[in-house]
């Protein structure tokens, strides 16, 4: 099954957020699938390495078939926390660690394969050949379908794609954090036919009270009347208009906000409105 365009980020489902019970997680999974949000984004580190297993337990009890959903997870970050006696936060991408992390995620999520498996952050010490050989082995075994990266720059993407194809790059992208349009990241993904996923898609519009947010909200207020949708929907539709076909990863656990996010798929911003929002973000007209 094809991934849903609006991806459900699960980072705040567990200890790092709402601390959902198994029953609440079952309810959320069923709600999302019923509304065609079938792609769930995880990482091994979420909830101090506990959120995947919480989700997996709920998924098994949800009555939903594995083929109805898509599971995304990431590995590579070693956290300082209660689960591991690390002295420092660091990145690890040797073959054994990648394979062990993948197997642990499969066990936690109660699945035999991941639809997408990402390297969570680039490491200055990563060995492209070792990574490529490891991922190829995991793909051949059927344990992962698509391979990708997260937060990789264009040159780091090249470093890996020279050895093995990348299907996804999950990056930070929003109206208030749109550096990926300027530093070549999205251009690279268009060129290489890599699917962008973006975290924190609403940016800082509702989190910071500053001149940028004020300018953006002034424009959003007018456009909300024009398109008959809420401001957060417009922020997602601004992302969706980009030709790279970005999939927003939404972190909300509020059902109404998930439903509103889906409305962004129905909005096609006029070209001038898209640039009005960009101008509001930068404070300057385009060159």
Res. 244: pLDDT tops 80: yes
Give the C-alpha separation, 239 to 107, whole Å: 34
Three-state DSSP state, 256: helix
Name, in order, each residue with C-beta under 8 angstroms of 208's C-beta and a sequence gap of 6 or more. none
pLDDT level of residue 230 (50, 70, 90 thresholds): very high
Residue 102 lies inside a defined structural domain of this protein: yes
Q: What is the dihedral of CA 278, 284, 285, 286, to 10 degrees?
A: -70
Nearest to 246 by CA among 161, 187, 160, 286: 187
Q: What is the dihedral of CA 11, 16, 17, 21, to 10 degrees?
A: 90
Q: Which residue of the set 46, 49, 93, 227 is catalytic?
A: 46
Q: How far is CA 142 from CA 189, 195, 198, in A?
A: 25, 21, 26
Token reading at 160: 């890996």
pLDDT level of residue 272 (50, 70, 90 thresholds): very high
Structural element, H or E, at residue 118: strand 114-119
Residue 261 lies inside a defined structural domain of this protein: no
Number of domains in the chain: 1
pLDDT level of residue 2 (50, 70, 90 thresholds): confident
- Residue matched to tokens 């509103």: 260
Res. 112: pLDDT tops 80: yes
| Helical pair 231-240 and 271-282, crossing angle rounded to 10 deg | 110
Residue 191 lies inside a defined structural domain of this protein: no
Which pTM was predicted?
0.97
Residue 172 lies inside a defined structural domain of this protein: no
The alpha carbon dihedral of 253, 255, 260, 264 has a sign of: positive
Nearest to 165 by CA among 205, 216, 124, 131: 131
The pLDDT tens digits of the residues spanning 93-107 come to: 999 999 999 999 999
Residue 109's pLDDT is: 98
Residue 204 lies inside a defined structural domain of this protein: no
Residue 42 lies inside a defined structural domain of this protein: yes
pLDDT, average across residues 8-25? 98
Token reading at 6: 């609006």
Residue 60 phi/psi, 5° resolution? -60, -35
pLDDT, average across residues 233-246? 98
Q: Is 46 a catalytic residue?
A: yes
Res. 1: pLDDT tops 80: no
pLDDT level of residue 207 (50, 70, 90 thresholds): very high
Count CA atoms within 13 Å of residue 102 on its CB side.
28
Res. 277: pLDDT tops 70: yes
Res. 238: pLDDT tops 80: yes
Residue 276 lies inside a defined structural domain of this protein: no
State the residue range of the domain holding 76. 7-166
Name, in order, each residue with C-beta under 8 angstroms of 214's C-beta and a sequence gap of 6 or more. none
Name, in order, each residue with C-beta under 8 angstroms of 137's C-beta and a sequence gap of 6 or more. 99
Token reading at 225: 């009347």
Give the C-alpha separation, 200 to 251, whole Å: 8
Q: In a 10 Å sphere around its CB, with 0-12 CB exposed, 13-18 middle and 19+ buried, how is residue 182 labelled?
A: exposed
Count CA atoms within 13 Å of residue 105 on its CB side.
26
Residue 107 lies inside a defined structural domain of this protein: yes
What CATH number is attached to the domain comprising 83?
3.20.20.100
The pLDDT tens digits of the residues spanning 148-179 come to: 999 999 999 999 999 999 999 999 999 999 99
Q: Which residues pair with 248 in a beta bridge?
A: 198
Name, in order, each residue with C-beta under 8 angstroms of 271's C-beta and a sequence gap of 6 or more. none
Whether the Cβ atoms of residue 6 and residue 248 lie closer than 8 Å to each other: yes
pLDDT, averaged across the chain: 97
């Amino acid at each position: 099954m094809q991934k849903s365009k609006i991806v459900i980020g699960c980072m705040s489902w567990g200890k790092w957020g709402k601390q959902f019970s198994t029953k609440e997680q079952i309810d959320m999974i069923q709600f999302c699938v019923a509304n065609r949000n079938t792609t769930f984004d995880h990482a091994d580190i979420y909830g101090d390495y506990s959120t995947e297993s919480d989700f997996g337990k709920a998924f098994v009890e949800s009555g939903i078939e594995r083929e109805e959903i898509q599971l995304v997870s990431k590995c590579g970050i070693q956290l300082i926390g209660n689960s591991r006696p690390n002295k420092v936060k660091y990145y690890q991408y040797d073959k054994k660690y990648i394979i062990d992390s993948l197997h642990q995620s499969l066990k936690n999520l109660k699945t035999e394969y991941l639809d997408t498996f990402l390297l969570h952050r680039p490491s200055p010490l990563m060995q492209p050949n070792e990574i490529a050989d490891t991922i190829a082995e995991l793909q051949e075994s059927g344990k992962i379908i698509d391979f990708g990266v997260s937060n990789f720059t264009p040159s780091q993407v090249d470093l890996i794609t020279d050895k093995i194809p990348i299907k996804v790059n999950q990056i930070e992208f929003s109206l208030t954090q749109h550096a990926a349009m300027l530093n070549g990241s999205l251009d690279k993904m268009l060129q290489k036919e890599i699917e962008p996923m973006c975290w924190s898609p609403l940016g800082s519009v509702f989190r910071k009270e500053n001149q940028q947010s004020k300018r953006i909200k002034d424009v959003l207020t007018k456009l909300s009347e024009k398109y008959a949708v809420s401001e957060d929907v417009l922020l997602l539709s601004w992302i969706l208009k980009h030709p790279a076909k970005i999939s927003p990863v939404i972190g909300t656990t509020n059902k109404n906000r998930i439903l509103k996010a889906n409305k962004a798929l129905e909005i096609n911003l006029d070209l001038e409105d898209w640039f009005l929002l960009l101008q509001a973000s930068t404070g300057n007209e385009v060159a």
